[in-house]
Amino acid sequence: MKLKPYGFILSLFSAAKAPPKPAMAAPSLAQTSANFHTSAPPEPPQDLDDDLLCSDPQAQGREPTDDASPFPNGSPGRCLSAGSRAERAWAHWAELGRPKLIVAPMVDNSELPFRMLCRKYGAEAAYTPMLHSRIFTETEKYRSTEFTTCKEDRPLFVQFCANDPDILLEAAQRVESYCDYIDINLGCPQRIARRGNYGAFLMDNLPLVKSLVQKLALNLNVPVSCKIRVFPKLEDTLNYARMLEEAGCSLLAVHGRTRDEKDGKKIRADWLAIKAVKNALSIPVLANGNIRHMDDVESCLKETGADGVLSAETLLENPALFAGYRTADWIVGSEESHKDGHLDQAELLVEYLKFCEKYPVPWRMIRSHMHKMLGDWFKIHPQVRDELNAQSKLTFEFLYGLVDKLKDLGLRIPLYIKDEDVVRISANGSAT
C-alpha cells in the first residue's frame, strides 16, 4: 500500500466521534490553544484566505506502504526492564539509520513541503509542527490540514502538545501507523503554552508529565520521544531526564535553554547541560540549540556526545543548511575559505512552492516561509515585501511572479559553501 498525503486522512479519521463541522478554514494553534480545556475550539474568522489550502488536496496521494509496527511486540514501555527498554530504543534508532541531521518541530513551519525541501538538502529526519492533541481528536478539518505526510517523509516524528493522557493517546493512535515516533512537546516556552498549560509549563507538574509518557509507552505500537528544555539547575534537569526515561521515553531531544531563555539569537544554548543529560541516560539523546551551519553541527556532536542535532530558525532562512550551505552572515571572518555555492534562497523558495503544489498546505504557512527565506532580499527591496503583504489572497502565479520581480531588479544573494581547495591548503600549512 502507498501513502496519501491528504486522501488517506479521510479514511484514517472516519471513526472520529466529533460532530461534522461547517466547511471553513481550519483553526490555527494560535486561535485555539489558549482554550485547551474547553469543549470545542473557537470558530475561526470566515475571511482568512491564508487558512485555505493552496490547491486541491486530492490532486496527489499514495496509500500506506507498510502497516507493520516498528515494534512488532509493542512499545518498549510495555512490561520490560529498563535495560530491555533501552536496548529496544537503540535497535529502533539503528533501524532508522541513526539520523544525525534533523528538522526541529516548528509551529506552522515544519509542514510537509518544507520537510521535503530540507530532506532534499541533507536532512535525515524531521518533526511535524506541534499539533494540539485535543483539537486533533475533535476536529476533522484540523487533522486533514495540519497533519500530512507521504511515503518519502521518513523518519518522521509527529509531535503533540497535551495535558490529558487519554486525549493524547487518542490523538497519537490516529497517526502512529504513519510515523516513527510520537513526540510530546515539553519545551514550548511561549505565553500561549502557559495559558494552555502545556509545553515547558508542564515542568511545574512532573507527575502529569510522567503520566503522559507512561500512557503512550504502555499503549502505542511506536516509541515515545520527548522534547524538553533544561531547568536552571543541572541536577533538576538530570532528574527530569531520568524520570522521562523511566516512564518509557525512548528518545529525548534537549533544547539547551531554560523556559525563560526565549531569544535564541542572544542566549547561547548550554551544550554542557546536554552533554550531562547524554551521559546520564541510556537512550538516544538529540541536541537542540546553536546550530547555524555545519561547523556548528560537528562541534555540537563532539562537545555533547549527542546522537543527532535539531535545527529550527536557521533552517527557515536556509533550508539547505544540512547540505553545507550557509548565508553570508556565517562566513564573516572566513570569506577566503568559502565560495559561491551557485544556489540562493529565491531558488530554494521556488523549489518549496513546487512541493506545495504537490502537497497542499494552508496559504498562511507559505506566506510565512516567503518572509523567512526572502528576508534579506526584502531588506534591499522593501517595496516587493510590501506588495506581498498587501496581497490578501495568494496564488502560485503571484508568488512565482514575485520571485521573478526580485531577479529582474538584478538582485542575487548567494548561499556559500566551503572552498575545499583552500581548506586543504590551509590544513597543510601552506600559503593560500
Inform me whether the pLDDT recorded for 116 exceeds 70. yes
- pLDDT for 331: 81
**Strand, helix or coil for residue 288:** strand
And the C-alpha cell for 389? 503583504
Phi, psi of 220 (to 5 degrees): -95, 160
Helix residue ranges per DSSP H, 248-289:
271-280
- pLDDT for 40: 34
Alpha carbons 367 and 384: distance in angstroms, whole number: 13
Long-range contacts of range 398-407, CB-CB < 8 Å, 24 or more positions apart? 399/353, 399/366, 399/370, 400/350, 400/353, 402/370, 403/346, 403/349, 403/350, 406/346, 406/374, 406/377, 406/381, 407/346
- Widest distance between CA atoms in the chain: 72
Alpha carbons 307 and 310: distance in angstroms, whole number: 10
Alpha carbons 288 and 157: distance in angstroms, whole number: 15
Alpha carbons 78 and 36: distance in angstroms, whole number: 29
- pLDDT for 378: 96
Inform me whether the pLDDT recorded for 408 exceeds 90. yes
pLDDT (tens digit per residue) in 214-263: 999 999 999 999 999 999 999 999 999 999 999 999 999 999 999 999 77
Contact 175, 199 (CB under 8 A): no
Query: What's the pTM?
Result: 0.83
pLDDT (tens digit per residue) in 351-384: 999 999 999 999 999 999 999 999 999 999 999 9
Known catalytic residues are: 188
Contact 267, 257 (CB under 8 A): yes
β-sheet bridge partners, residue 156: 126
Burial 60-94 (b: 16+ CB within 10 A, else e): bbbeeeeeeebbeebbbbbebeeeebbebbbebbe
- pLDDT for 56: 61
Of 175, 226, 161, nearest in space to 30 by CA = 161
| Sign, Cα dihedral of 357, 136, 159, 370 | positive
Alpha carbons 355 and 116: distance in angstroms, whole number: 7
Alpha carbons 47 and 50: distance in angstroms, whole number: 9
And the C-alpha cell for 284? 538516544
Interaxial angle between packed helices 234-247 and 206-219, expressed in degrees from 0 to 180 and rounded to the nearest 10: 30
- pLDDT for 293: 95
Of 192, 268, 221, nearest in space to 34 by CA = 192
Q: What is the DSSP letter of 277?
A: H
> Residue 196's Cα: distance from chain center in Å?
20
pLDDT (tens digit per residue) in 176-196: 999 999 999 999 988 899 899
- pLDDT for 79: 45
What's the pLDDT band for 99 if we cut at 50, 70, 90?
very high
Burial 174-187 (b: 16+ CB within 10 A, else e): bbbbbbbbbbbbbb
Q: Omega before 223 cis (within 30°)? A: no
- pLDDT for 427: 52
Of 146, 126, 223, 154, nearest in space to 184 by CA = 223
